[in-house]
């Protein structure tokens, strides 16, 4: 008899549902008094953090172009020097005044999400591959009707040279789709809309 492989299967995903806010942003959903604040709801950087302050604003649109009003968006990014605030960061210690992770619901009336953060520095592609990626922020979207969290990235419109040599963007065969990952820089604001479906469908990753 051949030996048995003892791997477990990953727990299958299920939708976060329409009441994801009860669990992830209870104060926002009107349940106050259990948690002092909603996790990830504040700015990612405190006043001492290094780097350029930016505000990211956007909507998540469905296949008919209607903004979702019940989505939950999380972001994960490196600090201004390109270091991640994570035990798995082996290149040095990240800025202690920058957490790197944030979580925001869309506005209940409009659906707009807003993050206050700093522009990330460039990070190496892999621990064993020093090619630099362009500055980017990982976005993760869950909502009613989304069976498994959708993962994408926001790059910056003012980083054309870095974007041109980014090894992840280089993987996108249909070059006209790259624009769906570029956040539009307008002063301190970066606009980044996510289209779940259709003509302008955002590139989503399996990584």
Partner 1 sequence: MKTAPPETGAFFARDRIWHPPALTPGYKTSVLRSPQKALISLEGTTTELTGPVFGHNMLGPTDNDLIVNYARPGEMAIGQRILVHGRVLDERGRGVPGVLVEFWQANAGGRYRHKKETYLAAIDPNFGGVGRTITDDEGGYWFKTIQPGAYPWPNGVNDWRPAHIHFSVFGHGFAQRLITQMYFEGDPMIARCPIVRTIPDPQAIEQLIAPLDWNATVPMDMRAYKFDIVLRGRRSTLFENRKEGN
CB 82 to partner 1: min, Å = 9
Q: Which residue, 66 or 189, is less far from partner 1 as judged by CB?
A: 66
Distance of closest approach, residue 184 Cβ to partner 1, in angstroms: 21
Look up residue 108 and give its DSSP letter.
T
Alpha helices in 47-202 (DSSP H): 160-164
For the CA atoms of 168, 171, 175, 176, what is the dihedral angle to 10 degrees?
Answer: -60
Question: Using CA of residue 108, residue 111, residue 112, residue 113, what is the dihedral sign?
Answer: positive
d(CA 16, CA 127): 32
161 or 171: CB nearest partner 1: 171
Distance CA 127, CA 153 (A): 19
**Dist CA 99 CA 43 (whole Å):** 9
> Shortest CA distance to 175 belongs to which of 183, 186, 164?
164
Q: By C-beta, is 170 or 186 nearer to partner 1? A: 170
Q: Closest CB to partner 1 among 35 and 188? A: 35
Q: How far is the CB of 187 from partner 1 (least distance, A)?
A: 26
Looking at the Cβ atoms of 32 and 186, the one nearer to partner 1 is 32
Minimum distance of partner 1 from residue 66's CB (angstroms): 8
Place of tokens 């492989």: 5
Q: Which is nearer to partner 1, 56 or 138 (CB)?
A: 138
Least spacing, CB of residue 83 vs partner 1, in Å:
9
Contacts of 66 (CB under 8 A, 6+ apart): none
Question: Residue 30 CB, nearest distance to partner 1 (Å)?
Answer: 5
Triad 117, 123, 128: Cα angle to 5°: 150
Give CA–CA dist 111/205, Å, rounded: 23
């Amino acid at each position: 008899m051949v030996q048995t492989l003892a791997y477990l299967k990953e727990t299958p995903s299920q939708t976060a549902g329409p009441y994801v806010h009860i669990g992830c942003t209870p104060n926002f959903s009107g349940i106050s008094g259990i948690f002092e604040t909603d996790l990830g709801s504040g700015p990612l950087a405190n006043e001492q953090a290094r780097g350029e302050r930016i505000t990211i604003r956007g909507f998540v649109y469905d296949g008919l172009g209607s903004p979702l009003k019940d989505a939950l968006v999380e972001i994960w990014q490196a600090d201004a020097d390109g270091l991640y605030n994570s035990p798995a960061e082996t290149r040095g210690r990240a800025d202690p005044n920058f957490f790197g992770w944030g979580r925001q619901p869309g506005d209940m009336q409009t659906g707009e999400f807003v993050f206050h953060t700093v522009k990330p520095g460039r990070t190496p592609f892999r621990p064993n591959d020093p090619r630099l990626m362009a500055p980017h922020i990982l976005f993760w979207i869950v909502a009613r009707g989304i069976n498994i969290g959708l993962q994408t990235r926001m790059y910056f419109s003012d980083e054309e040279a870095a974007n041109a040599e980014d090894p992840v963007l280089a993987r996108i065969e249909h070059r006209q789709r790259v624009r769906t990952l570029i956040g539009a820089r307008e002063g301190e604001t970066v606009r980044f809309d996510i289209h779940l479906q259709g003509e302008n469908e955002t590139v989503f990753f399996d990584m």
